[in-house]
Amino acid sequence: MREIDIAQVSDTVCSLFRSACCEIGDDVLSQLRRNLETEESPFGRAVLQQLLDNDRLAAEKQMPICQDTGMAVIFMEIGQDVHFTGGDVNAAIEDGVRRAYRDGCFRASVLTPLERVNTKDNTPAIVHMKLVPGEQVRITAAPKGFGSENMSRLWMLTPSQGVEGVKEAIVETVRLAGGNPCPPVVVGVGIGGTAECAMLMAKHSLTRECGEPSSDPMLAEMERELLARINDLGIGPQGLGGRTTALAVHIEQMHTHIAGLPVAVNMQCHAARHKSAVI
């Protein structure tokens, strides 16, 4: 058994969000550059260039890429031989988020859903924990903006709709979203499971390196086909028309019920922020 002080968890969460909000990953930057070379639309090229300029400036000045520094989504894989010491690990995570948003001058965007009362420190975070073998803790911070989150969709298809029905649902979600989710987007997809599981897979798929194909050859082929179909929609950067509507499609799947075919699409803007660390 390995002991890990919760202060280390809190500090790791804090530094991951500080970095994620200001420094977009090389995975996204290289996709933006690649598409800048192939984009045919003048507005599309101008937007992609602005995004590259913006992302460089944000990193230089250590200011947020986007004013929507999101809800603080966290994935934690906790080794089953880990023992957290020093108090409540949940509180330590919230403390890390609170410090990151305060010290980074990030926006406090979190409020009660009905009364709309802002908590003013961007807590609570959205935390997904999973037990895994071993004695390490892997933490991924993925701040999620709501321009794209709002364009997400759950489709409870029937088995008769099959693979083509799944593909149509995914493309239709992107078409309906148009320019709203800040394209070029990353399209996160979860197929199977239950309703909530499908969306969690879709969300988790967004923590993959942007454009890295699925390890499942069938899903990887589906990702390639869907990316081409989505980019044929013509929506383009910011919805102003062009070839670059999506940078990547990421799909995860799991077993589902004989009566069902859930498909969740979690839309991610070009600020596809995610940083990980292992304790």
Partner 1 sequence: MEREIHAPLLQEEIADLRAGDTVLLSGTIYTGRDAAHKRLCDRVRAGEALPFDVRNQVIYYAGPCPAKPGDAIGSCGPTTSYRMDAYAPMLCDLGLIGMIGKGQRAQSVVEAIQRNGGVYFAATGGAGALIASSVKSARVIAFEDLGTEAIRELKVERMPLIVAIDAHGGNLYEQGPAAYRR
- Residue 242 near partner 1 by CB under 8 A: yes
Q: Which stretch binds partner 1 (CB under 8 A): 74-82, 132-140, 233-241, 249-257?
A: 233-241
Q: Which stretch binds partner 1 (CB under 8 A): 136-144, 177-185, 193-201, 253-261?
A: 177-185
**Long-range pairs of 165-169 with CB within 8 A, sequence gap ≥ 24:** 165/261, 166/191, 166/261, 166/263, 167/222, 167/225, 167/226, 167/229, 169/263, 169/265
Q: How far is CA 145 from the centre of its chain?
A: 9
Reduced to 3 states (helix: H, G, I; strand: E, B; else coil), residue 180 is: coil
Residue with the two structure tokens 């986007």:
66
Q: Give 225's contacts (C-beta < 8 A, 6+ positions apart).
A: 167
- Residue 2 near partner 1 by CB under 8 A: no
CA-based end-to-end distance of the chain: 14
| Binding mask of the shown chain, residues 250 to 269, with x at each position contacting partner 1 by CB under 8 A | -------------------x
- Provide φ and ψ at 160, rounded to 5°: -65, -20
- Residue 189 near partner 1 by CB under 8 A: no
Q: Which stretch binds partner 1 (CB under 8 A): 36-44, 134-142, 162-170, 204-212?
A: 36-44
Q: Which stretch binds partner 1 (CB under 8 A): 41-49, 125-133, 159-167, 216-224?
A: 41-49
- Nearest approach in angstroms of CB 24 to partner 1 is 10
User: Which amino acid is present at 248?
Assistant: A
How big is the chain by its Cα radius of gyration, in Å? 19
Q: Which stretch binds partner 1 (CB under 8 A): 46-54, 90-98, 162-170, 250-258?
A: 46-54
- Do residues 28 and 247 touch, judged by C-beta distance below 8 A? yes
Among 65, 169, 171, 226, binds partner 1 (CB under 8 A): 65
- Residue 18 near partner 1 by CB under 8 A: no
- Residue 54 near partner 1 by CB under 8 A: yes
Strand runs labelled E in the chain: 2-5, 71-79, 82-85, 126-132, 137-144, 153-157, 185-193, 246-256, 261-268, 275-278
DSSP alpha helices (H): ranges in 70-194? 89-103, 146-149, 162-177
- Do residues 90 and 76 touch, judged by C-beta distance below 8 A? no
User: Which amino acid is present at 222?
Assistant: M
As a whole number of angstroms, the distance between CA 73 and CA 169 comes to 25
- 121 vs 135 by CB, closer to partner 1: 121
Instruction: Find, among 35, 89, 25, 33, the residue nearest to 58 by Cα.
Output: 25
- Nearest approach in angstroms of CB 140 to partner 1 is 21
- Residue 232 near partner 1 by CB under 8 A: yes
- Residue 227 near partner 1 by CB under 8 A: no
- Residue 31 near partner 1 by CB under 8 A: no
- Residue 224 near partner 1 by CB under 8 A: no
Among 187, 235, 249, 267, binds partner 1 (CB under 8 A): 235
- Nearest approach in angstroms of CB 202 to partner 1 is 20
> What residues make contact with partner 1 under the rule CB under 8 A?
40-41, 43, 47, 50-51, 53-55, 57-58, 61, 63-69, 105-109, 116, 118, 120, 147, 150, 178-182, 232-236, 238-243, 269-271
